[in-house]
């Protein structure tokens, strides 16, 4: 490959995982630069996973202060006011993460990610955002797409006992081994905006109900001018009304978006730690795949609901649903 | 999800975690975040460097310390007000008996070996405490729920047997690199550095037919005052040169095979041997035996490099010399350990030289170490996912939400679009000797087999008992324990060497033996059937245990080699067993019969089969169904598909 070798220290530390993905992938990981935005429990899990895996650098963006909700699911922040007061979430998480793996550079960037210029995005290989408004997700995704090189974009969010991951690897080529042959694969991803614009009635009948429910909540928060996760049981009538409107607009039978699911998502907007671990684990695995070019990456949504225990991949793109 | 009712259930729970390793670290964190307030954790291991890539509660500075205790301290930093009790101990210690287990509402396993898993399973059954069991390998993982009387126990289904190889393949006709590794590790290394008195049926020789005479064993003895360099080259020439030549003389063997090439040290190092150890005088190593390295002495750094024949030969001679000069005291007591750098170097070099003879591609030290140590692949992400799933199942168990119990598979490649696949748990196996009272049947030659054979091969190796007690009716034949009086000990020792039919209370065809383990509170009956002949190839143990679904199962070693009943059992003469060291390993994926929890759900929707690639433990899941909502495992022959809505 590039001729550079892993050091003895790296080989010893990463022994067990090099046996999973090879020295080559490990070298690529060590050159990857990752940025995360929105330091709640799921992102904390993700950061732990990729810092342990040995990425080159991790940049944290989140200027918010500690809240009860963040403390409840983010194990990177000590629950001691003397320790956390005056520091932003990104700064606090940075301090803990640095400790996990001295070979990874962890740093903080202040500001609002969606207002950063496109050239800033050039510095990264992967951008992961969480707890973002619909508009911010679209905008950041767009900037990743206009950067001078390919910047992979992910969104991740957990509510109640459910979680969602969205992936945009743009134009992605990778190779995989099938028996003795190496096959070159090519995947074309839609942007977040393109994906959620796919008419609902063209989607396969069995698409995860969480997909629709999440879109309804996302839209509700935008229409009402709420911050992500800022909803309560009192909002349920409004959410159900919006659901009806959206289903009508998409000519989709309302039974695809069960009321009780929407009720769960507005009643308990905080993260459930076991689900953070699961979603943060899947996301970590996906980012490692995308960086190393090893293994089939998921395209382009992933859903988990602890209630039925299924972790499902859905391909929501205009080209993949024809004829189904 | 985090309803008030659920939170109060969690808060009032006392949970026991067994294992503070890959899954354990993740699990302890997730339990603490989820609101559990009284957690006990047992782990006998100490922290190693290769743990740090995934066991995120540990740092470089903790290497050598107790996993359980460091994990506790790390979690208390972000959850200071909960109670975590850490035990740096073996879960098989008698202190952790059924009464100890009874204080817990649920037991969560994050273990790395079959032996301990079986032990915990039995104690959970004895104490009637639900068990959530787990395992991971690379990107694969699984979580299962075991509730006495409701779902199958951990031992209701067969567990994969360790991969074994015919002895002649190892000693005479290797065709894969793993054969060379087994030869180097189990035969050569054991012969040179292991217990000299231990019966080693696997003599180092090139052909079974040629060298039945035992005088050649002397070759391996270092003569008095023999120069260490000379000794090394003598061993080298004997095993890689002379023995291969000897084997070549048997033309029959090579009719349909490529003939191996004998390799003599003189040919490899034409005239440069004297210079090869130029670094020898430099003071590299400390006196700490395990840090001695032939690679360091020879200035070779990269464990990913594949060495040339000359390099392998140098490492071989250098490692051998270092064992004698730096670690002389250990010789005679060494057994291969994947964390022993010098041992790994020696085995890598020896395997590569042998591979060169047989035209087999060479491997790097890194790869050879993985094969020799049966190192299981492990990444943080899978462990984190599995830990999350364990907590979800544990909460269902605590809420007694029985209809929601699931076993969940974490897959590398999606199946039916799923990366996480829940499956309804199976009901108990009615013929399971652990959780039912079904007797077993043992076919054995009661006129030839000794009680010792029965104890070692059946009671210890197959039934996994640590403190067995064997009874024939009311007559005690054998017992292991700390508080036995001398008379009994002598009596039992004498019984061990008697053939079954000559015991004080003779065991013959038709006899029923009762075997108990008082610590595990497990008792089972074994009906004895006398049988004269056994097939040496197919039934190398000379006995056959039936009546339970598992055809064979050798006890597995855990990291600390606490279990000595593997390769040394007295007539392992037909197979060389490769033990799996499991690091949070996924143990089994069921391919068994239809075993449903609920009556109305029937027929298989899914067949899952497991293919183990001997050295790498790759599992392949094969999924046959494409219906929705609930997937069930079952008989592959069952053609019909059914679904059941939640």
Q: Is residue B552 part of a domain?
A: no
Chain A: residue whose CA lies nearest to B79: A79
Query: Do B11 and B97 lie in a common domain?
Result: yes
Determine the pLDDT at residue B606: 27
What residue in A sits closest to B375 (Cα-Cα)? A16
pLDDT band at B548 (very low <50, low <70, confident <90, very high): low
Q: On the CB side of B615, how many CA atoms lie within 13 Å of its CA?
A: 16
Mean pLDDT, contiguous 10-residue spans, chain A (324 residues): 68 83 89 96 97 95 92 90 90 94 95 92 96 95 94 96 96 83 90 95 91 96 90 93 95 93 91 96 96 90 96 88 40
Determine the residue among B21, B53, B584 to mutate to test chain A binding: the one whose Cβ has the most chain A Cβ atoms within 10 Å.
B53
User: Chain B residues with CB inside 8 Å of A286's CB?
Assistant: none
Same domain membership, residue B486 and residue B396: no
Average pLDDT in the B420-441 region? Answer: 88
Radius of gyration of chain B (CA): 27
CB B623 within 8 A of CB B416: yes
As a whole number of angstroms, the distance between CA B414 and CA B433 comes to 35
Residue B591 in domain: no
Q: Return phi, psi of residue A17, to 5°.
A: -85, -25
Nearest CA in chain A to B140: A20
Q: Which residues of B are catalytic, by number?
A: 168
CB contacts under 8 A, B 279-318 vs A, are: 301-304
**B207 close to B253: Cβ distance less than 8 angstroms:** yes
Considering the domain architecture, whether residues B288 and B224 belong to the same structural domain is answered as yes
On the question of pLDDT at B564 being above 70, the answer is no
- Find residues 321-380 of chain B whose CB sits inside 8 Å of chain A: 366, 370, 375-380
B286 and B399 together in one domain: no
pLDDT of residue A4: 67
Reported ipTM:
0.95
What 8-state DSSP symbol labels residue B344? H
d(CA B516, CA B528) in angstroms, rounded, equals 16
Question: In this predicted structure, what is the pLDDT of residue B271?
Answer: 59
Query: Taking all residues of chain B, what is their mean pLDDT, rounded to a whole number?
Result: 78
Residue-level pLDDT at B385: 97
pLDDT above 50: residue B603: no
Whether residue B333 is found in the same domain as residue B382: no
Interface contact flag, B384 A277, Cβ < 8 Å:
yes
| pLDDT for residue B585 | 40
Contacts of A264 in chain B (CB under 8 A): 1
Query: By C-alpha distance, which of A105, A119, A99 is closest to A58?
Result: A105
Split at pLDDT 50, 70, 90, the class of B293 is confident
User: Where residue B234 sits, what CATH number does that domain have?
Assistant: 1.10.10.520
Is A313 close to B414, i.e. CB distance below 8 A? Answer: yes
CB pair distance less than 8 Å for B2 and A270 = yes
Contact list, B301 vs chain A (CB under 8 Å): 8
DSSP at B115: H
Residue of B nearest to A315 (CA): B417
Same domain, B419 and B456: no
For position A81, what pLDDT does the model report? 85
CB burial string B360-390: b at 16+ within 10 A, e below: bebbbbbbbbbbbbbbbbbbbbbbbbbbbbb
**Vertex B20, ends B423 and B613: CA angle to 5°?**
55
Residue B292 banded pLDDT, cuts 50, 70, 90:
confident
Question: Does residue B458 lie within any of the structural domains?
Answer: yes
Q: Which of B329, B359, B389 is the last residue of a domain?
A: B359
CA of B606: how far to CAs of A137, B220, B344, B594, in Å? Answer: 39, 55, 42, 10
Q: Which of A242-256, B228-242, B414-428, B608-622 has the lowest mean pLDDT?
A: B608-622
Q: Per mean pLDDT, which range of B30-44, B301-315, B581-595 is the poorest?
A: B581-595
Task: Count CB pairs under 8 A between chains A and B.
Answer: 181
Chain A residues whose beta carbon lies within 8 Å of the beta carbon of residue B59: 99
Q: Is residue B595 part of a domain?
A: no
Binding residues of B: 19-24, 43, 51-54, 67, 112-117, 153, 156, 432, 435
With beta carbons under 8 A apart, name residues in chain A contacting B303: 8, 11
Q: How far is A107 from chain B (nearest CA, A)?
A: 19
pLDDT (0 to 100) of residue B534:
85
Structural domain including B285 reads: 175-359
- pLDDT of B290: 52
Nearest to A268 among B2, B80, B376 (CB): B2
Give yes or no for residue B245 having a pLDDT over 50: yes
Residues B267 and B136 placed together within one structural domain of the fold: no
Parse chain A into domains and list their residue ranges.
Answer: 8-189+271-310, 194-267
pLDDT at B380 exceeding the cut of 60? yes
User: How many domains is chain B partitioned into structurally?
Assistant: 3
Buried b (16+ CB within 10 A) or exposed e, A144-165: bbebeebbbbbbbbbbbbbbbb
Query: What is the distance, to the nearest Å, from the Cα of residue B401 to the centroid of all Cα atoms in its chain?
Result: 34
Contact between residue A170 and residue A281 where contact means Cβ atoms under 8 Å apart: no
Flag whether B616 is in a domain: no
Confidence tier at B197 by pLDDT (50, 70, 90)? low
Q: How many angstroms separate the Cα of B43 from the Cα of each of B96, B178, B387, B475, B593?
A: 12, 31, 17, 38, 34
Cis-peptide into B366, omega within 30 deg? no
Helix (H, G, I), strand (E, B) or coil at B480: coil
Cβ separation of A75 and B33 shorter than 8 Å?
yes
Same domain, B278 and B398: no
Please check whether residue B157 lies inside any domain of the structure.
Answer: yes
CATH number assigned to the domain comprising residue B71: 3.40.50.720
Whether A314 sits inside 8 A of B417 (CB atoms) is yes
Identify the band that residue B538 occupies on the pLDDT scale cut at 50, 70 and 90.
confident
Domain A8-189+271-310 belongs in CATH node 3.40.50.720: yes
Residue B121 in any domain: the answer is yes
Query: What are the two backbone dihedrals, phi and then psi, of residue B42, each rounded to the nearest 5 degrees?
Result: -115, 130
Distance, in Å, from the CA atom of B419 to the CA atom of B410, rounded to the nearest integer, reads 6
Query: Do B417 and A284 lie within an 8 Å CB cutoff?
Result: no
Is B590 within a domain? no
Minimum CA–CA partner of A207 in chain B: B417
Q: Please report residues of B whose CB lies closer than 8 A to that of A285.
A: 139, 379, 381-382
Is B422 in CB contact (< 8 Å) with chain A?
yes
Q: In terms of domains, do B417 and B477 share one?
A: no
Shared domain check, B472 and B348? no
The answer to whether the CB atoms of A17 and B79 lie below 8 A apart is: no
Residues 31-50 of B with CB under 8 A from A: 32-34, 49-50
Contacts with A100 from chain B: Cβ below 8 Å: 56
B581 touches chain A (CB under 8 A): no
* CATH number for the domain that contains residue B467: 3.10.290.20
Is the pLDDT reported for residue B566 higher than 80?
A: no
What pLDDT sits at residue A192?
97
pLDDT, residue B2, reads: 53
Asked if B417 and B466 sit in the same domain, the reply is no
Residues B541 and B483 both lie in one domain? yes
Residue B251 binned pLDDT confidence (cut-offs 50, 70, 90): confident
pLDDT at A309: 95
Contact B33 A308 (CB under 8 A): no
């Amino acid at each position: 490959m590039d001729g550079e070798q892993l050091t003895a220290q790296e080989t010893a530390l990463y022994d067990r995982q090099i046996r999973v993905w090879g020295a080559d992938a490990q070298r690529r990981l060590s050159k990857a630069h990752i940025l995360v935005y929105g330091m709640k429990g799921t992102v904390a899990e993700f950061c732990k996973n990729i810092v342990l895996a040995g990425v080159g650098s991790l940049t944290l963006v989140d200027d918010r202060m500690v809240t009860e909700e963040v403390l409840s699911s983010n194990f990177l922040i000590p629950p001691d006011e003397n320790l956390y007061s005056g520091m932003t979430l990104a700064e606090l998480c940075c301090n803990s993460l640095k400790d996990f793996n001295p070979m990874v550079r962890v740093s903080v960037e202040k500001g609002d990610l969606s207002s950063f210029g496109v050239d800033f995005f050039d510095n990264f290989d992967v951008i992961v955002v969480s707890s973002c408004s619909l508009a911010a997700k679209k905008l950041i995704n767009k900037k990743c797409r206009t950067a001078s090189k390919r910047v992979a974009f992910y969104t991740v969010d957990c509510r109640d006992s459910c979680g969602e991951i969205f992936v945009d690897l743009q134009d992605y080529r990778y190779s995989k081994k099938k028996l003795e042959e190496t096959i070159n694969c090519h995947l074309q991803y839609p942007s977040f905006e393109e994906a959620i614009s796919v008419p609902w009635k063209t989607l396969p009948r069995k698409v995860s109900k969480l997909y629709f429910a999440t879109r309804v909540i996302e839209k509700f928060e935008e229409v009402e001018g709420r911050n992500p996760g800022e909803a309560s049981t009192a909002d349920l009538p409004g959410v159900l009304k919006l659901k009806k409107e959206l289903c009508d607009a998409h000519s989709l039978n309302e039974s695809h978006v069960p009321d009780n699911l929407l009720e769960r998502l507005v009643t308990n907007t905080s993260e459930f730690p076991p689900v953070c671990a699961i979603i943060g684990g899947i996301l970590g695995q996906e980012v490692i795949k995308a960086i190393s070019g090893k293994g089939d990456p998921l395209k382009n949504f992933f859903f988990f609901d602890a209630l039925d225990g299924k972790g499902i991949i859905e391909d929501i793109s205009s080209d993949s649903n024809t004829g189904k | 999800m985090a309803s008030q009712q659920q939170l109060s259930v969690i808060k009032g729970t006392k949970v026991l975690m067994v294992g503070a390793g890959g899954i354990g670290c993740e699990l302890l964190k997730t339990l603490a975040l989820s609101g559990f307030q009284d957690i006990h954790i047992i782990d006998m291991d100490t922290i190693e460097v290769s743990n740090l890539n995934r066991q995120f509660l540990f740092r470089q500075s903790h290497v050598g310390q107790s996993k359980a205790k460091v994990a506790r301290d790390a979690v208390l930093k972000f959850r200071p007000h909960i109670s975590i009790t850490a035990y740096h101990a073996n879960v098989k210690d008698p202190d952790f008996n059924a009464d100890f287990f009874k204080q817990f509402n649920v037991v969560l396993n994050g273990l790395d070996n079959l032996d301990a898993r079986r032990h915990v399973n039995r104690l959970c059954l004895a104490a009637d405490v639900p068990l959530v069991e787990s395992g991971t390998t690379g990107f694969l993982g699984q979580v299962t729920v075991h509730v006495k009387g409701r779902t199958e126990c951990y031992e209701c289904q067969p567990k994969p047997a360790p991969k074994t190889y015919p002895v002649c393949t190892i000693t005479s006709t290797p065709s894969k690199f793993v054969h060379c590794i087994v030869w180097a590790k189990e035969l050569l290394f054991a012969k040179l550095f292991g217990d000299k008195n231990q019966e080693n049926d696997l003599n180092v020789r090139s052909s079974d037919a040629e060298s039945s005479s035992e005088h050649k064993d002397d070759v391996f003895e270092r003569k008095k005052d023999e120069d260490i360099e000379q000794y090394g080259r003598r061993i080298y020439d004997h095993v890689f040169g002379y023995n291969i030549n000897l084997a070549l003389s048997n033309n029959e063997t090579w009719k349909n095979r490529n003939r191996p090439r004998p390799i003599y040290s003189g040919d490899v190092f034409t005239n440069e041997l004297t210079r090869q150890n130029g670094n020898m005088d430099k003071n590299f190593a400390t006196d700490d035996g395990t840090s001695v390295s032939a690679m360091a002495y020879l200035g070779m750094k990269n464990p990913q490099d594949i060495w040339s024949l000359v390099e392998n030969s140098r490492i071989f001679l250098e490692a051998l010399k270092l064992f004698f000069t730096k670690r002389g005291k250990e010789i005679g007591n060494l057994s291969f350990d994947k964390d022993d750098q010098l041992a790994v170097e020696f085995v890598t070099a020896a395997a590569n030289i042998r591979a060169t003879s047989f035209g087999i591609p060479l491997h790097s030290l890194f790869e050879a170490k993985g094969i020799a140590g049966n190192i299981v692949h492990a990444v943080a992400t899978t462990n984190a996912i599995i830990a999350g799933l364990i907590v979800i199942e544990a909460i269902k168990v605590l809420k007694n939400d029985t209809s929601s119990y699931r076993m969940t598979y974490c897959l590398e490649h999606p199946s039916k679009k799923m990366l996480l696949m829940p499956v309804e748990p199976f009901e108990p196996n009615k013929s399971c000797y652990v959780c039912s009272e079904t007797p077993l049947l043992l076919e054995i030659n009661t006129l030839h087999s000794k009680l010792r054979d029965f104890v070692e091969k059946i009671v210890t190796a197959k039934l996994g008992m640590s403190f067995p007690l064997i009874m024939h009716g009311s007559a005690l034949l054998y017992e292991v324990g700390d508080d036995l009086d001398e008379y009994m000990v002598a009596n039992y020792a004498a019984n061990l060497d008697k053939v079954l039919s000559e015991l004080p209370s003779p065991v013959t065809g038709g006899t029923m033996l009762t075997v108990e383990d008082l610590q595990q509170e497990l008792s089972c009956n074994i009906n004895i059937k006398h049988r004269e002949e056994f097939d040496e190839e197919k039934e190398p143990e000379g006995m056959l245990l039936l009546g339970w679904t598992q055809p064979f199962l050798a006890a597995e070693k855990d990291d600390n080699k606490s279990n000595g009943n593997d390769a040394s059992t007295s007539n392992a003469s037909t197979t060389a067993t490769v033990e799996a060291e499991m690091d949070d390993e996924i143990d089994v994926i069921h391919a068994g019969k239809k075993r449903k929890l609920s009556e109305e759900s029937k027929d298989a929707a899914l067949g899952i089969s497991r293919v183990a690639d001997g050295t790498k433990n790759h599992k392949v899941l094969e999924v046959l169904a494409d219906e929705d909502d609930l997937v069930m495992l079952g008989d592959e022959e069952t053609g019909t598909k059914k679904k059941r809505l939640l």
